[in-house]
Amino acid sequence: MLRKDILYRFLPLLSQHRPLAHAADELGTTPEIVKAWVRRFREWLLVLDSTGDFERRVRLGLKAPRPLMDCPHCLKQVEARPHGFKRTRKRTAAELKRRMFRCTGCNGFFDVSIDAL
């Protein structure tokens, strides 16, 4: 496949909020190459539009924001970092259906039902 063919498939992906690995699989290339293309396009868009309006629309490769949750330890609503799934010695994560989070305020761990998310 020619580079210009990849470019025509790459341009619509710029505005989509998805990981670089998914875009790389779709384009048949590596995530490093897609990351370099995104960086070049961001720089080019800033040259064309100094206000940055179009550059802000590029969503490809951005990480999803952390959810705001109520921490049961510090009793504040803070960003919570996902920390895997809750499991015990006798019950698997699939049986419990609970997601573990870590509070960014007090570094305490808490779990939330998957149904509540």
Residues 59-74: pLDDT tens digits?
888 877 788 899 999 9
- Mean pLDDT across the stretch 37-42? 94
pLDDT digits (tens, 9 = 90+) for 76-107: 999 898 888 998 899 888 889 999 999 999 99
pLDDT digits (tens, 9 = 90+) for 3-36: 778 888 999 999 988 888 889 999 999 999 999 9
pLDDT of 2 reads 62
The four Cα atoms 19, 114, 68, 61 give a dihedral, to 10 degrees, of 0
The four Cα atoms 46, 50, 56, 61 give a dihedral, to 10 degrees, of 10
**Residue 83, class by beta-carbon neighbours within 10 Å (0-12 exposed, 13-18 middle, 19+ buried)?**
middle
Distance of CA 61 to the CA centre of its chain: 7
User: What ranges do the domains of the chain cover?
Assistant: 3-57, 68-116
Q: What is the CA radius of gyration of the chain?
A: 20
* Collapsed DSSP state (helix, strand, coil) of residue 93: helix
The four Cα atoms 50, 52, 58, 63 give a dihedral, to 10 degrees, of 130
pLDDT of 77 reads 92
Whole-angstrom CA distances from 55 to 8, 19, 46, 60, 76 are 18, 17, 6, 11, 34
pLDDT of 75 reads 93
* CA 79 – CA 66 distance, rounded (Å): 6
